[in-house]
Structure 1
Amino acid sequence: MSMPTKSVPHRRLGTAGPEVSVLSLGSWHIYDRMDFHDAVAMVRRAVDLGINLFDVGVYGIPGEPPVFTDVLFSAIVRAAGIERDEYLLSTKLWLEPYPEQSLREQLERAMFRAGTDHADVAVLGDIRRDDLDLRALAGDLAELERDGLIGCWGVNNWSATAVRTVREHAVEAGSPGPQLAQLKYSPCRRSIPDGEPFARVFAEGVSMQASDVMEGGILARGKVSRQIGRDPGGVRDRIVQAAPVLAGIAEELEATPAQLCIAYTLTHPSVATVLFGASSLRQLEDNVAALEVLEKTGAERLRSLIEPLWADRDAVDPEGP
């Protein structure tokens, strides 16, 4: 695949969010394990290619060594000469300590670490409890929007009903509501993003940010040794088995498996941006070249080729967690 030369196109996030690049760069366990000079060159190149959305959510685990990917990101953009108005910053807000720890306190700590005074996008983490007050949560988010601490917000792996419910409360509180739903989406995980419950969410103006598009690297490399995300439906073994089939399809298209995963997720009409991690300049440029794969192959043919790899069909409720 040739070196990408075109600027990465942008799409509107939701109905009230910013224009975001259709490819967004994640940082989960990325900058912590990169040479600093290499990270600076990669992020500089990403911005030059048109990528403007950077996810710097921190995924630290109690009892494990601390992570500093967000702190490093603040140093990387300074070293790369990238001004704050040249990129959009996305951060995570966690619901486990809420409301004992307020969203405002979480956000201020995150922004202190990232070296900025606001987040352009705040994404609420998974709901893992039964007593979450969605009305109060929506009110707190509306206040953060009014105070300019966040530009807009979204949710990560929520059920369709929870997204629609919090949206109703947010509108009542004077907020536009969630502008994105971050969902696991790949050639193998399709039941939730392609299902009818989320079709109604998207019809109301919420965009999708596709995440885990390579199943933590399994679909790109066949196997991985580092920590990867949850396995809804318990279908990871099926995905491991699908990886060589995906690689064969990619070879026929003169593409890499990673490019095929990214190109596939961009065929969904409600995807505003696809989130991926890259740990080298070459990997970044290879992934951006997925845009050429999509243009060359076409969405209809791509979806037809990928159809047999749907691993979570009938294994996951389309309503979501």
Structure 2
Amino acid sequence: MEKFTLSNGVEIPAVGYGTYLTSEQDDGTVAAALAAGYRHFDTASFYGTEQALGDALKAAGVPREELFLTSKLWKDEMGYENALAAFERSLQKLGTDYLDLYLIHWPRTDDLTAEWRQLDRDTWRALEELYRAGRVRAIGVSNFLPHHLRNLMETAEIAPMVNQIEFHPGYPQTWNVEFCKAHGILPEAWSPLGRTRVLQDERLAGIAAKYGKTVAQLCVRFALQCGVVPLPKSSSPARMKANLDVFDFVISDEDMDRILTLPQFGWSGLHPDYPKADID
């Protein structure tokens, strides 16, 4: 599989497997993903899938050095001491002694009236400590917007290496992606396939048909050509394989322009600075 290179030289597989909303028990999904060719797995304490992922990877017997494992600390695990403790819990559940990537899941807690700037900085200081100690190969954030990143980088000794954001046709967060790239931060895409409305969109279906691909494959390829690491999720072995079958075609500049300028649609309604909005 192709790879991206982080600012510190660590290589990350170009397509990862997202475990959000997968089973909290080992139900064979991870084994199927491994069989399809995935070696990059994304989880989080909030997902409740760390234990099942760790158990499945252990049962599969894939050498640890062949895997790229990401986890994230949740909103109630922020702060210096809390973050260090959350990291240890994630390691224990995953059955590993290090992570390849560790992220702050959201820049703000559920209490949007609370001061977030210092909390982010204190949490980041813990991640920097883990990185220096060799407990994690790379550190970053998730769902941060440029103003959250600016705040963090004002005092950070180590700049974030990744920002995992919602990204898909209809919601490409162009300015956020451009900001990240300008500062050496690799964007990752959660929900790279969008939702039902994206996958059933006739405009995207027409473009995908030109390449003999599905809309889902078009979405994955779109992320890659935007320099974004997609993290698609599927429980179907056939679709798992299909989501990796995206390296044999290139979306034309004209079609990329068309996708990037579609009206906003398929957004989750999740925004770090505001209560959940209406989903279109």
Q: Which residue of 2 aligns with 1:40?
A: 31
Measure the CA separation in 2 of the matches of 1:131 and 1:308. Answer: 35
Measured after TM superposition, the shift of residue 143 of structure 1 is 1.2
**Contact 1:111–1:118 under 8 Å retained in 2:** yes
Q: Which residue of 1 aligns with 2:256?
A: 303
> C-alpha offsets along residues 127-152 of structure 1, whole Å, 9 cap, x if unaligned?
23442313322322211112222222
**Contact 2:44–2:71 under 8 Å retained in 1:** yes
Structure of greater relative contact order (alpha carbons < 8 Å, 6+ residues apart): 1
Q: Among 242, 247, 255, which residue is 1:286 paired with?
A: 242
Measured after TM superposition, the shift of residue 308 of structure 1 is 5.1
Query: Percent of pairs identical after alignment?
Result: 23
> C-alpha offsets along residues 21-59 of structure 1, whole Å, 9 cap, x if unaligned?
1101111122448742x531431432xxxx432112143
User: RMSD between aligned alpha carbons?
Assistant: 2.7
Query: SS of the counterpart of 1:79?
Result: helix
Q: Among 212, 217, 224, which residue is 1:254 paired with?
A: 212
**Contact 2:17–2:41 under 8 Å retained in 1:** yes
Measure the CA separation in 2 of the matches of 1:107 and 1:216. Answer: 31
Aligned residue-pair number: 264
Question: Structure 1 residues 307 and 95 mapped into 2: Cα distance closer, same or farther (>3 Å)?
Answer: closer
Q: Among 134, 159, 162, which residue is 1:180 paired with?
A: 162
**Contact 2:72–2:104 under 8 Å retained in 1:** yes
Query: SS of the counterpart of 2:138?
Result: strand
Q: Which residue of 2 aligns with 1:231?
A: none
Measure the CA separation in 2 of the matches of 1:289 and 1:198. Answer: 24
Q: Residues 125-140 of structure 1 correspond to what in structure 2 (within 5 A)?
A: 125-128=105-108, 129=112, 130-132=114-116, 133=118, 134-140=120-126
Measure the CA separation in 1 of the matches of 2:5 and 2:273. Answer: 24
**Contact 2:207–2:255 under 8 Å retained in 1:** no
Question: Structure 1 residues 41 and 138 mapped into 2: Cα distance closer, same or farther (>3 Å)?
Answer: closer
Q: TM-score, normalised by structure 2?
A: 0.84
Measure the CA separation in 1 of the matches of 2:80 and 2:163. Answer: 25
Does the alignment pair 1:52 with 2:39?
A: yes
- What are structure 1's unaligned runs of at least 5 residues? 1-7, 61-66, 223-242
- What are structure 2's unaligned runs of at least 5 residues? 275-280
Measured after TM superposition, the shift of residue 247 of structure 1 is 2.1
Does the alignment pair 1:105 with 2:85?
A: yes
The one-letter code sitting in structure 2 at the alignment partner of 1:293 is F
The one-letter code sitting in structure 2 at the alignment partner of 1:9 is E
Q: Which residue of 1 aligns with 2:58?
A: 78
Q: Which residue of 2 aligns with 1:18?
A: 10
